[in-house]
Copies of this chain bind each other. A is one copy, B any other.
Amino acid sequence: MNPSSRLGFEVLTADLGTAARRGRLLTRRGEVETPVFMPVGTAGTVKGILPWMLRDTGARIILGNTYHLYLRPGLEVVEKLGGLHRMMAWDGPILTDSGGYQVFSQAGLRKIAENGVRFRSHIDGSQHELTPEKAIAIQETLGSDIMMVLDECPPAGADPRYVAASVERTTRWAERCLAARTSSAALFGILQGGTVPELRAAHAEVLTRMSFDGFAIGGLSVGEGAEEMVAITRLSAALLPPDRPRYLMGVGRPSDILQAVACGVDMFDCVLPTRGGRMGTLFTSRGELIIKHARYRLDERPPDSGCPCPVCARFSRAYLRHLFLAGEMLGAVLNTLHNLCFFGRLMEEIRASIPAGTFPSLLEERLPLLDRRVPGGE
């Protein structure tokens, strides 16, 4: 890692058949092999998972949510406890979002202006303002290793004129975020532009001239269809510099991840493995398994035969179904643990396949099996 750089990134192998690449992030808290999936640790915890078990699921970097942590427990607490890493006992790298996405999706009464966005807390209705400078200051206080700029993420189907104006403001905010940084944390710009190719291209043009350590593709997985998401991801990734990591925010399903890797994306985060675990959805090599289904009542098989995770090694579908129906916490914990292992292993397979030249065939084999319900009898 270049000592003047806040984040190193090496492309180790590029796939010949697709835009996929096998790389390595060099963060100030250790190396991360890419393509990588980052479990979401919203409020200072990857929900239900003991932090010392996270590495065993394959996780090497996790995500923290600025909006949630800022509101609860609040910066005074995080600072007193020595920062987010020490507070939650995770010593690997942490990427934080800017808080913007949650302000737009969860907070009440938000009001956007040139300076920033005013909003009410979804917890207690208290009023707050998030500006580009404040988004950086909060992330630096949390101790983030990879920070994100404050951006606006318009909903799918927003008026293209609104999206164009929003992109311009996001650019100005990105400049202010870069100027506001005072730490050795890395900072990523976020490419917006909705589903309008011209806006994506124009935004990439100005954004990539700024000295960001990496670039995120934002504004996707917000309600557009899967095909459009892949198309915009492909187009966006190609607009970003090949020597910087590319991060597709909030994506996604295993099938989305495989396709986005083929577009040249290096980093992913999504609540699906954790939220899905709590809701009783298990991700498997044969598709999504809805554990409450009556067909699993007496099913002695593990969720995913051949899966080496500690859940599949010990427990049956019937037991996990029982825990889920009885509302037992352990059900959510075990489902989440399996899901994180599944995502971790999928990324491992992707990483192994690129230098082996087998990524295109992995894509072809796995894709039709992932994005479906597990059929009866399997």
A interface list, Cβ under 8 A from B: 43-45, 47-52, 72-73, 76-77, 80-82, 87-89, 278, 297-298, 300, 310, 314-316, 318-319, 321-323, 325-326, 328-330, 332-334
Contacts and interface: CB of A to CB of B under 8 A. Distances in A.
A329 B47 contact: yes
Given A50-B333, A314-B89, A328 B80 contact: no
A280 to B, nearest CB: 14
A2 to B, nearest CB: 34
A78 to B, nearest CB: 9
A48 B337 CA distance: 13
A264 B45 CA distance: 44
Contact of A45 (B73, B76, B323): B323
Contact of A88 (B48, B49, B73, B319): B319
Contacts of A332: 329
Nearest to A69: B322
Contacts of A318: 73, 77, 80-81, 87
A44 B333 contact: no
Nearest to A47: B329
Contacts of A326: 43, 72-73
A333 B329 contact: yes
22 contacts: A45-B328, A48-B330, A49-B330, A50-B330, A50-B334, A51-B314, A52-B314, A73-B297, A73-B318, A73-B325, A77-B322, A81-B300, A81-B318, A81-B319, A87-B316, A87-B318, A89-B314, A89-B315, A278-B329, A329-B329, A329-B332, A333-B333
